[in-house]
Structure 1
Amino acid sequence: MCNKFYLILLLLLGPKVWAQQPVFSGSYKELFKGPPNSEQRDEWLANLKTWRDKQKADMHYDNSFYVNPSLKWVKHTFIYVQMMAHDRFFYDPVTRKYTVNRYLADLKKRYGGIDAVLIWPTYPNIGIDNRNQFDLTADMPGGQAAVKQMIRDFKANGVRVFFPIMIWDHGTRRIGMKMPEALVKEMKQLGADGMNGDTMFGVSEDFYQYTQSENYPLAFQPEQSLRSLKMLEWNRLSWGYFWGYEPAPGVDVYKWVEPQHQVNVTNRWAVDKTFDLQWAFFNGIGYNSWENIWAIWNQIPDRYAEVIRRISAVYHAYPDSWSSKDWEPYIPVLQKNIYATKFPSAGRTIYNFINRDSAEVKGGQISVPYHRGDTYYDLWNGHQLKAEIKNGNAILSFDIEGFGYGSLLVAQRPLKPAENAFVAKMAVMSKHKLKTYAADWKPISQQMVTIAKTKVPAKAPDGMINIPATDKFQFESVGVMIEGNELPTAVGVQHSWESHPSRSQKHEMKVASFYMDKYPVTNEQFKKFLDASRYHPADDHNFLKDWVKGSYPAGSARLPVTWVSLDDARAYAKWAGKRLPHEWEWQYAAQGTDGRKYPWGNENIKTNYPPADTARAMRKPTAVDAYPAGASPFGVMDMVGNIWQWTDEYADLHSRTAIVKGSSYFHAQTSGWYFPPALEVNKYGKYLLMAPSLDRAETIGFRCVVDAK
C-alpha cells in the first residue's frame, strides 16, 4: 500500500524527481549510467554533484588519509598487476634468485611496464596442509631476508608492492593475534606498500587502525565493491569489476565521490579487453594487467597491450590530472558514438575520448571555449592542432579509429620540454594504428617434464608389485581446480596427444608393464636413503620439517615421508634405481581396467582409508599399512585418503605445476577456496611449483615405480 502511494506521487511530480537519484549500472553498482540524452546532460551532472555532496555530508566524510604525503603515490598507480609468486619470470629455482628485473623487463617490452605489483604466494595451494597465509609468505625462497630484498628491488624500479589478505583463512594453523594486526605487522617487517583484500567487500577499518598504531601507512585495496561509501576513507584503491557493459560508458562511483581514489579495472578471464580499457580511459582510472591466473596464462593480445602502453604514457605524462576534483564525464561532443571526459588542472585541461563504434571517426570532435593564447594538442596522435574559431569556441578536429581512443590537451601556457618530448613520443607510437596489431589469443604451449626409464630388473624388486601391460587403458581424468572454466583451452595440463592444456582428459592408451611400490615411501626408507647417499638439498627450508636432529620421531617409521619436494622425491628414486610414476601409471595401478572410482570399487567406503582431519592443528598421516581393505585391484596399498602423491610435472614459459594424486586426510574447513580434495582416482590436483621451500608440504609424499619387461 505504502509503495503504491509513493509510486503514484513520483509519477505526478514528474521526471525531475526521478532524476534526483543517479542510476547505477553493472552487477556491483560501481558505475553510474550516463545521461539519457545530450539535452539532459547538464541536469544529469548537477544531480550527480548534488548526490555526491549529500553522501559526503551524511557520512561526515574525512579524506585525511588521502592527503597523507607517504601515500601520494597511490593515485599514480595506473597500471597494476596481480602476479603469481610462482611465475618463472619472477624466480629462478636453479640459481635460487628472485629475478625482478627480468620480470619487469618483460612487462615493459610488451605493454610499457607497471606501477604496482600484487605478489600472490597463497591461493590456490593454500589448504594442501595447515600452513596459513603467513606461513606461505615465510616459506617463499630465501625467507624474510630475501623477500625484503626482492621488495626493495621492485621499489628501486619505481614499482610498489602489495600482498593479499586471505580474510577467509580460518581453517589453517591458528595465529596468536588478530588477523588485521598480524598482517599489518608482517607488511611493516617486509617493507611492503599495500594489501589486497581477497573476496573482501572493502578492507575493514580495523586494518586501518592497526596502521595507525604501528605508524606504518598501507594502501588498502579490496577485491569486491565497498559495503559502504564510508569505507572510501581508508580504502585508497579498489578493483573495478565493471561487468554488465552497455554501449555508453558508465561513470565510476568511487572516483566520482573521491577523485583521488584509484580504481584498477579488473576482468582477468577476458580475452577482448576493449570495454575494460575504454571504461578505464573514459574515467581516468587504472587497469589490472593480470595474466598469470593461478598458473593459467591469459596473455594480453598485442592490440590491447599496445593500448595499455599508450594509455599509460598519457597517464604518466600528466600524472596529477586524473585525480582532479573538477573532472566531468560526458562532455558534449560533435560526433555520434564518441564519449569524452574532461580533466582540468592548473594551466592544463585534458579531454579523453573513446569511440564506441567499429568505424573510424574523422573531422570535428569537440567545441571548447576559446581563450586567446590557448594551444591545442592531439596527445594520442602526437601533434599540435589548429583550432577553427567560431562564435567564441574553438572547434578541434582529429581522427579516432574504430573502438579507439583520443586525448586532447588544451594548454593555457607554453609546453615544457618534457611535454614536447612526450608529444613527439606519441607521434612515433601512433604511426601504427591499433587495428594493425593482432587481437587474437591462443593458449600457451605446455610440456610434460620427461621421466627417464629405469633399468629393467631381472626379478620383481622387494616391496614392489607388478602392474601388467595393457593395450587399451581408458585414461579419463579431471582436475579439481576451483577456477578456470572461462578459458577452457588453458586450464589444466597438456598431454602429448593434446593441442592445448585441458582440465579433463579422455584417451585410450597403451601402458607398458611396470613395478610399483606397494606402499608410499616411508620415513624409515627415506632415512636409509639419507644415511647411504648423504643427500641434502641446497634449498633445505621445510625439508623433513617434522624430523628431529636428522631422524623421524619415535613411532613414525611406517608413516609416509612428507615435507619432501618433487626434487627430493626424484633424488630418492634415482638412488633406489627407480623413478616417479606418470599420472596415468598411478591411476592405472589404482584403478585397474574397469574405470572404478576408488581402488576397491565405485562405492566410497570410508573405513578403507583414514578419517578426514578438519582440525586446524592437523594430526600426522597414518601408517601406510593401516588400511589393507583399501587395496587396488593389483594389491597396491594406501593410494587414497592418506597423503597426496607426486607424479608428473608440467611446464610452460611462465609456470611449473605438478600433478598430485590420491588426496590427503587433511580437509581445511570454513571456506571453499582451500585446495580441494580429489579422493576419486580419476581426479587430480594441480599444485603450483615455485621452489622446494614453498613446495614441500606435510601432506605430500610419493611412491616409486620401476620399468618391467
Structure 2
Amino acid sequence: MLVKAFADDYDLKFRPHQVEGPASPRDYLDWNARLRKYRLEQKTKKVSHVASAHDVPELQWVQSSYVQPHVMANDLFLFDPETNRYTVDRYVQDVTERYGTIDSIVIWPSFPNLGCDSRNSEDYYRCLPGGTLGIRSLVEEFHARKIKVLFPVIGWDNGTRDPRASWSYILPRLFKEYNIDGMSSEIAYFTQDYWMNSVAIGHPLAFQAQANSENKLGDAPDLDDSLILQWNTMDMAKYDTTTRIPTVALRKFIEPQHMTRSCDKWSRNKTAMIQHSFFNGLGIEMWENIFGTWNQLTPRDAEALRRTTSILRCFGPDFFASAEWEPHCPCVRWETVFSSKFPSRTVEDQIVWTFVNRGPANVTGHQIVVNYHIGIQFYDVWHGVEIQPTDVCDGLATLSFDIEPYGYGCIFATSDVSPLPGNFETLIKTLHHRSRTPLYKIPICSAVLWQELDEIVVTKYTNENICGMVRIEGGAYEFKVKGLSAHPHSKSEYPGVDIKYPWEFQPSRHHATKHMQIKTFYMDAYPVTESQFKKFLDESGYKPADPTNFLKHWCGGCYPASRANKPVTHVSVEDARAYAKWAGKRLPHEWEWQYVAQGGHEYRTYPWGNEWDETKVPEVYSGRERLYPDHPPADVDAFPAGRSCMGVYDLVGNVWQWTDVYRDEHTRAAIIRGGSYYQAKNGQHYFPQAYRNDQHGKYLLMSPSVDRCATIGFRCVKDTEESALSIGNCSFESDECF
C-alpha cells in the first residue's frame, strides 16, 4: 500500500452535513488529520456557560436510541377505531417480528389533515382519543416496553388558530403534561428557547432536527451556529447515501454523543442507507406509514436492519459515541470495502470495526491490517465466530473474513482479560445462527397495500322522503379525477399515494379515466343543514359513542339561532351515515358527486362553468381566529348562481362534503369533495383545497373526536330502482369490484 507524505493543506470536500471520504488509502493520513483539525476548530466555538443536553441524566437514552420509527396516530396497528382504543401491543409485536427492537418512536397526530379547519397543532393533540389521560396511557404503554416517545413539531404551523404564545413556550409544557420524552421536527435546528423552557419546567426534552440540503447548520445565526448541537441532541439525516465511497456524518463527528439517524422515507430499496448508517455508527429513522401512504421495509432490508442495529445496541455508546472514532480505516479491498474504527471509551484494547461492501461481488480473504500484540482476541461478530489473525509481524496482523455483495461485516478486538460487553455472548450466538442465511437470498421487494371501499349501501327504492331532492338522470360518464397531496414533493408519481378505486389495481394520485354508466338517482339539493340535523337528533335520539367535538359549536344541545340554514359541521363520517340511514338515504359515491357537479357529460371544471368565479362562492376566510362562533360557513342557499346545471346547490367553496371511505391494512381515509371557505394563512403545506370538479381531498380518519371538523359537512343521495340494481352505482360493467 502506498502512503504519500503528510500534507497540512489537504482540502476536505463538504456536502450538507457530510464530508466526503478519501479517494484512496494514499489520501487517508492527510484526510484524517485535516478532518480532526476541522473538528477541533468547530469545538472551540462552544460557549462554556451553556449546559449541554448530552450531560443531562434524563437524556442519556438518546445515545443508544438506534431505531426510531415514525407512525401515524391513526395507523390501524396502533389504534383500533372499533374499540376507540390504542393497541400498542399489536404495533410493537408487528415491527419487532419484522425488523427487531425499536428504541424510540415518533407519533404523528395532525399532518396531513392540518389546515382543513382552523385547529392548530395543540388543538389536534387535545382532540386525540381519551384526551390527556388517553395520551398519557399510550405513552406509559410504550415506556413499559422501554420505548421512548416523541411527538412532532410542525415548524411552519403559523397560519391556523393563533395559540397566543410561542410554540417554544406551549409545547414543552404540553409534552410535560403527556410525559413525552422529546420533539421531532423537519427544521434545521430547535432554537435555544425550546431547550431552556423544557429545563425551566423540570422536564428536559430531547430535540431532533433534520439534516438535509435545505437545512444547513451554517444557516443558523452566529450564536446558534456554535451552540445548537448542545441541545439538539438528535437529527434525522437525509443524506445522499448512494456514493461508492461513504460520506462521514459531520454532526456526529463534531459531537460524537450526538445521535444521528439516517432517513430515506420514500426509497423502496434502503440497502445504501442502512450501509451508510452502519459505517458511521448511526441509527435509523424508519418511515413505513408516510402520512397515509404505506412503504414497507423489504424483507432483506428488514433483516439487515435487525442484524446491524443489534450490533450497535450491544456495543452501544461506549464504542459508537467514542471521540476516537476513525472513519475510513484503510482496507485491503479498498475499491469496494470501507471500514470505520470505534475504540472503547472505557476499556483499553477494545475496538469495534464496522465494514460495508459497496460492490456487487462477494469479497473474501484478507480484509484489514490492524495493530496486534499477544493476548488480543478477534471476533467476526457478523458471522458469530472467533477468528485468528494471520501474517503477524512487527506488531501488525491481518484479519480475514468474507463479506457478501452489498453486505456488512463487524470485527471486535479485546484483551483476553477484559470483560466483554453485556449481551455479547447472546449477540454472537444469535448472529451465528442468522448469518447462515445470506442477505442476498432474502427477497428485496415490497407490495403496495390493497385498498377497498369500507362500506357499500343501497337504499330502498321508494318515492318517500324525496322532498328537497333532485332527480339526477343517469347516462354514460367518463370519471377522471386527481388526488391532491402535499407528499411526496417529487413530480414523479409514487405508487401507493392517494387511493385505489374499485376498478384499479393500486393506489395512485393520478387516476386513469374510467368509463362508467351512471344510473338515475336522487341527490339533496342542498347540504344537510343545522336545523335538519337537529330534527334527526330529536326524533332518533342519536348519541355518538364518542361525543368529543360532536357539534362543538352548538350551545345547550342546539345550534345558534343564526345558523339554522347553514350546513351542519363538526360531524364525523359515522355521524353523517347515521343521519343518512335515519332519512332512508346514503352518502354519495365520489363519482356520483362529481357527475352532478360537472353537469354529467358537460364535464364542467366548476359547477357553473369552466372559469373560476369568486362571486359564486362564499368569501374566503384566512384569519387566525377559530371558525366558531364568529366565522361560520355561509347559508346553503346564499349563492344560487353557483349551482350545478342539474339543479344542485352549494357544491363548491362553502364546506367540504363526505363521500366514500377507503381502507387498507394500516389506514382509513375519506374522500371529501368541494373545498371550503377556510384557507389557512401563510401555508402551502396545509391541507390543499380542491375547488375543481376533477380534484379531491384525502382526509385521514382516526376517531370521531379527531375527524369532526369545522369545515366538513355532507349531503345525501337516494337510490332509484335502476341505481339500486346497480349496487348503488357501484357496479362497473365487466369490472366486478365485489
Same fold (TM over 0.5): yes
Is 1:627 the equivalent of 2:639? yes
Count of equivalent residues? 690
Report the equivalent of 2:732: none
Distance in 1 separating the partners of 2:6 and 2:651: 69
Distance in 1 separating the partners of 2:131 and 2:464: 46
Report the equivalent of 1:116: 104
Which residue, out of 146, 153, 171, partners 1:183? 171
SS at match of 2:54: coil
Report the equivalent of 2:69: 81
Which residue, out of 541, 550, 574, partners 2:581? 574
On the 8 A contact 1:460/1:515 being kept in 2, the answer is no
Question: How far apart are 1:209 and its partner, in Å?
Answer: 1.4
Question: How far apart are 1:563 and its partner, in Å?
Answer: 0.2
SS at match of 1:66: helix
On the 8 A contact 1:578/1:706 being kept in 2, the answer is yes
Is 1:323 the equivalent of 2:315? no
Distance in 1 separating the partners of 2:245 and 2:562: 69
In structure 2, give the amino acid aligned to 1:22: L
Question: How far apart are 1:364 and its partner, in Å?
Answer: 1.2
Which residue, out of 448, 451, 455, partners 1:446? 451
Which residue, out of 205, 219, 222, partners 1:218? 205
Distance in 1 separating the partners of 2:257 and 2:280: 12
On the 8 A contact 1:303/1:437 being kept in 2, the answer is yes
Report the equivalent of 2:727: none
Task: From the superposition, tell whether residues 535 and 661 of structure 1 become closer, same or farther in structure 2 (CA, over 3 Å).
Answer: same
Distance in 2 separating the partners of 1:159 and 1:99: 15
Distance in 1 separating the partners of 2:37 and 2:390: 35
Report the equivalent of 2:406: 403
* Structure 1 gaps, min length 5: 1-13
Report the equivalent of 1:595: 603
Which residue, out of 190, 196, 209, partners 1:209? 196
Question: How far apart are 1:114 and its partner, in Å?
Answer: 1.1
In structure 2, give the amino acid aligned to 1:300: L
Q: TM-score, normalised by structure 1?
A: 0.95
Task: From the superposition, tell whether residues 196 and 580 of structure 1 become closer, same or farther in structure 2 (CA, over 3 Å).
Answer: same
Is 1:355 the equivalent of 2:357? yes
Question: How far apart are 1:237 and its partner, in Å?
Answer: 0.2
Report the equivalent of 2:26: 39
Report the equivalent of 1:547: 554
Distance in 2 separating the partners of 1:638 and 1:176: 34
In structure 1, give the amino acid aligned to 2:396: N
Distance in 1 separating the partners of 2:619 and 2:655: 12
Report the equivalent of 1:479: 483
Report the equivalent of 2:671: 659
Distance in 2 separating the partners of 1:157 and 1:241: 28
Residues 61-140 of structure 1 correspond to what in structure 2 (within 5 A)? 64-140=52-128
Is 1:518 the equivalent of 2:517? no
Deviates more, 1:441-450 or 1:395-404: 441-450
Distance in 2 separating the partners of 1:55 and 1:22: 14
Distance in 2 separating the partners of 1:332 and 1:361: 15
Task: From the superposition, tell whether residues 459 and 417 of structure 1 become closer, same or farther in structure 2 (CA, over 3 Å).
Answer: closer
Report the equivalent of 2:695: 683
On the 8 A contact 1:451/1:579 being kept in 2, the answer is no
Question: How far apart are 1:211 and its partner, in Å?
Answer: 1.5
In structure 2, give the amino acid aligned to 1:280: S
Which residue, out of 48, 52, 58, partners 2:39? 52
On the 8 A contact 1:161/1:194 being kept in 2, the answer is yes
Distance in 2 separating the partners of 1:584 and 1:608: 23
Report the equivalent of 2:494: 488
In structure 2, give the amino acid aligned to 1:603: E
Report the equivalent of 2:12: 22
On the 8 A contact 1:657/1:686 being kept in 2, the answer is yes
Is 1:458 the equivalent of 2:439? no
Q: TM-score, normalised by structure 2?
A: 0.92
Task: From the superposition, tell whether residues 203 and 417 of structure 1 become closer, same or farther in structure 2 (CA, over 3 Å).
Answer: closer
Task: From the superposition, tell whether residues 540 and 590 of structure 1 become closer, same or farther in structure 2 (CA, over 3 Å).
Answer: same
SS at match of 1:531: helix
Report the equivalent of 1:147: 135
Is 1:611 the equivalent of 2:619? yes
Distance in 2 separating the partners of 1:241 and 1:250: 12
Distance in 2 separating the partners of 1:604 and 1:693: 34
Report the equivalent of 1:639: 651
Distance in 2 separating the partners of 1:439 and 1:628: 56
Distance in 2 separating the partners of 1:665 and 1:409: 63
On the 8 A contact 2:128/2:706 being kept in 1, the answer is yes
Distance in 1 separating the partners of 2:274 and 2:477: 48
Question: How far apart are 1:655 and its partner, in Å?
Answer: 0.4
SS at match of 1:620: coil
On the 8 A contact 1:269/1:487 being kept in 2, the answer is no
Task: From the superposition, tell whether residues 585 and 288 of structure 1 become closer, same or farther in structure 2 (CA, over 3 Å).
Answer: same
Is 1:194 the equivalent of 2:182? yes
Deviates more, 1:514-523 or 1:219-228: 219-228
In structure 2, give the amino acid aligned to 1:331: C
Task: From the superposition, tell whether residues 433 and 63 of structure 1 become closer, same or farther in structure 2 (CA, over 3 Å).
Answer: farther
Question: How far apart are 1:467 and its partner, in Å?
Answer: 0.6
SS at match of 1:319: helix
On the 8 A contact 1:460/1:466 being kept in 2, the answer is no
On the 8 A contact 1:123/1:673 being kept in 2, the answer is no
Seq. identity, %: 40
Report the equivalent of 1:232: 229
Question: How far apart are 1:479 and its partner, in Å?
Answer: 0.9
Report the equivalent of 2:736: none
In structure 1, give the amino acid aligned to 2:13: V
In structure 2, give the amino acid aligned to 1:287: I
Report the equivalent of 1:11: none
Deviates more, 1:363-372 or 1:233-242: 363-372
Is 1:287 the equivalent of 2:274? no
Residues 410-425 of structure 1 correspond to what in structure 2 (within 5 A)? 410-412=413-415, 413=418, 415=420, 418-425=423-430
In structure 2, give the amino acid aligned to 1:446: Q
On the 8 A contact 2:587/2:658 being kept in 1, the answer is yes
Which residue, out of 562, 565, 568, partners 1:561? 568
SS at match of 1:515: strand
Question: How far apart are 1:212 and its partner, in Å?
Answer: 2.1
Distance in 2 separating the partners of 1:106 and 1:502: 26
On the 8 A contact 1:622/1:642 being kept in 2, the answer is yes
Distance in 2 separating the partners of 1:168 and 1:386: 56
Distance in 2 separating the partners of 1:229 and 1:339: 31
Distance in 1 separating the partners of 2:275 and 2:414: 24
Aligned CA-pair RMSD: 1.5
* Structure 2 gaps, min length 5: 722-738
Which residue, out of 705, 711, 720, partners 1:693? 705
Distance in 1 separating the partners of 2:537 and 2:19: 65
SS at match of 1:221: strand
In structure 1, give the amino acid aligned to 2:609: G
Question: How far apart are 1:176 and its partner, in Å?
Answer: 2.8
Report the equivalent of 2:159: 171
For 1:41-68, what per-residue CA distance to the aligned partner results, in whole angstroms no more than 9, with x for missing partners? 0111111111111111134466732111
Distance in 1 separating the partners of 2:139 and 2:176: 12
Report the equivalent of 1:6: none
Question: How far apart are 1:167 and its partner, in Å?
Answer: 1.8
On the 8 A contact 2:47/2:226 being kept in 1, the answer is no
Task: From the superposition, tell whether residues 152 and 492 of structure 1 become closer, same or farther in structure 2 (CA, over 3 Å).
Answer: same
Distance in 1 separating the partners of 2:422 and 2:552: 60
Distance in 1 separating the partners of 2:42 and 2:34: 12
Distance in 1 separating the partners of 2:164 and 2:612: 38
Distance in 2 separating the partners of 1:606 and 1:680: 13
Deviates more, 1:487-496 or 1:286-295: 487-496
Deviates more, 1:553-562 or 1:487-496: 487-496
Which residue, out of 545, 555, 559, partners 1:538? 545
Following TM superposition, the consecutive aligned residue runs of length 4 or more in structure 1 with deviations greater than 6 angstroms are: none
